[in-house]
């Protein structure tokens, strides 16, 4: 090989290396952008799932309360404030807010 061919080969390898380096730099920037977008989408997805769960709970509570008459809703409020609404202990404070099967039957039992 002559000196000119060797120099031409080195110049060609150098230009290909520069092009490869430029491609790698572009890919690196693109990957960084994609990772940032991915993280943003993960956070947004998490917030949307939490919001959906909250809405599902609200819908379930609304459905549960929709089946109660106004008087039973009032009894439920009194019960949740810590008082008995059953015939046996009506008006007495529930000890440590323990559940009372009689009260629950009065509120949620069949009519």
Stretch (H or E) spanning 58: helix 3-66
The rounded distance, in Å, linking the Cα atoms of 61 and 73 is 12
- Using one digit for the tens of pLDDT, what is the confidence trace for 20-64? 999 999 999 999 999 999 999 999 999 999 999 988 888 777 666
Residue 12 banded pLDDT, cuts 50, 70, 90: very high
Can you give the pLDDT at residue 59?
76
All structural domains of the chain with their residue ranges: 1-66, 68-111
Among left, alpha and beta (phi > 0; psi -120 to 50; other), residue 109 is beta
Averaged confidence pLDDT in the chain: 91
Can you give the pLDDT at residue 109?
85
86 has binding-site annotation: yes
103 has binding-site annotation: yes
9 has binding-site annotation: no
**Rounded CA Rg of the chain:** 36
- Using one digit for the tens of pLDDT, what is the confidence trace for 66-108? 677 889 889 999 999 999 999 999 999 998 889 999 999 999 8
């Amino acid at each position: 090989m002559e000196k000119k061919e060797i120099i031409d080969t080195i110049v060609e390898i150098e230009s290909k290396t520069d092009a490869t380096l430029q491609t790698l730099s572009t890919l690196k920037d693109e990957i960084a952008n994609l990772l940032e977008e991915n993280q943003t989408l993960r956070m947004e997805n998490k917030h949307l799932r939490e919001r959906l769960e909250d809405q599902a709970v609200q819908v379930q509570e609304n459905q549960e309360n929709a089946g109660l008459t106004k008087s039973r809703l009032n009894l439920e409020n009194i019960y949740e404030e810590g008082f008995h609404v059953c015939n046996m202990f009506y008006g007495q404070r529930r000890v440590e807010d323990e559940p009372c099967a009689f009260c629950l039957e009065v509120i949620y039992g069949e009519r």
